[in-house]
Amino acid sequence: MVRVTPSTTPTQPLWTLSQENLQAWMAAEGHPPYRASQVWQWVWEKGVSDFSQMSNLPAALRQALAEAFPVPELQLLHERKSQDGTRKFLWQLPEGGTVETVWIPHQDRATVCVSSQVGCSLNCRFCATGQLGLERQLQGYEILLQVYTLKHRLRLPVTHIVYMGMGEPLLNYSAVIESLEGFSQKMGLSPRRITISTVGIPKGIRRLAERKEPFELAFSLHSAIPEKRQKLIPLAAHISLEEVREALITYGQTRQEWVTLEYVLLAGENDGPEDAEALRAFIAPPLQAKVNLIVYNPVPGLPFRPSPRLKAFQQALLRMGIITTIRYSRGADVAAGCGQLARQTG
Ligand code: SF4
């Protein structure tokens, strides 16, 4: 549905406009349709969002666009660079609050880890973000801007996106979908290179299953033993593993895709033979899943330590026929690794 007319929604941010929105606005203002294509190219292909710099548009049109559509930006408050090349950015958001984004170069990839909420309500025990609580939901365009800003303002390459920063993406579903559409339809990134990571929201997983974009889904399992998982992830006391598993099966069957299970290996918590056995039972057909074992990044003040049994645990899973990869989290020296985002500026 086309929402924009000059008089009804004069303050809609530029980032939220679709091509149809722009065309409708141009038509209402008496401009030919190709003007909308020109603006679109400036914004999404050339990375220019300042209307005054759109040199092939008439001056009066540039002025009218600037009056009609605000162009909110992220403001860089702080940046840290890891020895491994990873960079972590702390932003002031247009609509209030701060979040972090991590840019991770690795071989021929450059992955951006985006935040979807300011803080997080779920309070997973091993996670620095969880200690912050939830301040607010991000708008879809505020998620989109994290990548746009890195690509077009800081001129960093971007090949992949993961929703693994601050927040639980499926608890901010509509904004996440808006950003996902923006990444693929406006910024031209393949949905296959976008991973949504969830701690397990069955309703959200089922809604994702119905969508046609071929993005990836990762489920943060961390323990397949319900009592242990509840100790790590308080949400698990309210949503059973079986419920999540059913939703993952639906997802896999609807989309003909495998799901990735994220499993952060914590010393003495979830790294024993009984844990590997429980994981095998969880992955039993009809669920089709592979496992990423994640090396834990210690968070100051939290009691968890990385497991010394990483290789042995991987071998145990491989012997069970489970596809298992070890993921060394990057940027840990600047607290940019998994579970470390807590908006430090030191
Ligand atoms: S691990 Fe994810 S869902 Fe859990 S508290 Fe941290 S940000 Fe929230």
Q: What is the pLDDT of residues 160-202, one digit of tens each?
A: 999 999 999 999 999 999 999 999 999 999 999 999 999 999 9
CATH architecture, domain 75-334: Alpha-Beta Barrel (3.20)
Of the pLDDT bands very low, low, confident and very high (cuts 50, 70, 90), residue 5 is very low
- pLDDT of 299 reads 82
- pLDDT of 197 reads 95
Ligand 1 geometric centre to CA of 127 (Å): 6
- Residue 120: how many other CB atoms lie within 10 Å: 25
- pLDDT of 344 reads 65
Q: Does domain 14-68 bear CATH number 3.40.50.150?
A: no
Q: Find tokens 């242990």 and name the residue.
A: 228
Residue 102 corresponds to which tokens in the numbers above? 């991590």
- pLDDT of 198 reads 96
Q: What is the pLDDT of residues 126-154, one digit of tens each?
A: 888 888 899 999 999 999 999 999 999 99
Strand partners, 80: 88
Ligand 1 geometric centre to CA of 266 (Å): 16
Q: Whose CA is nearest to atom 3 of ligand 1?
A: 168
Of the pLDDT bands very low, low, confident and very high (cuts 50, 70, 90), residue 346 is low
CA distance 127 to 147: 23
Check pocket membership of 134 for ligand 1, CB cut-off 6 A. no
Catalytically annotated residues: 100, 338
Q: Is the pLDDT of residue 8 over 60?
A: no
Task: Give the domain ranges of the chain.
Answer: 14-68, 75-334
- pLDDT of 167 reads 95
Average pLDDT over residues 233-248: 96
Check pocket membership of 122 for ligand 1, CB cut-off 6 A. yes
Q: What is the pLDDT of residues 77-108, one digit of tens each?
A: 999 999 999 999 999 999 999 999 999 999 99
Check pocket membership of 123 for ligand 1, CB cut-off 6 A. yes
Ligand 1 geometric centre to CA of 141 (Å): 21
CA angle in degrees (0–180, nearest 5) for 203-208-214: 160
Cβ atoms of residues 65 and 71 within 8 Å = no
Average pLDDT over the chain, rounded to an integer: 92
Q: What is the pLDDT of residues 256-299, one digit of tens each?
A: 889 999 999 999 999 999 999 999 999 999 999 999 999 998 88
Ligand 1 geometric centre to CA of 301 (Å): 16
Cβ atoms of residues 131 and 65 within 8 Å = no
Average pLDDT over residues 44-69: 97
Q: Using the atom order of ligand 1, give the atom closest to the CA of residue 128.
A: 6
CA distance 90 to 132: 15
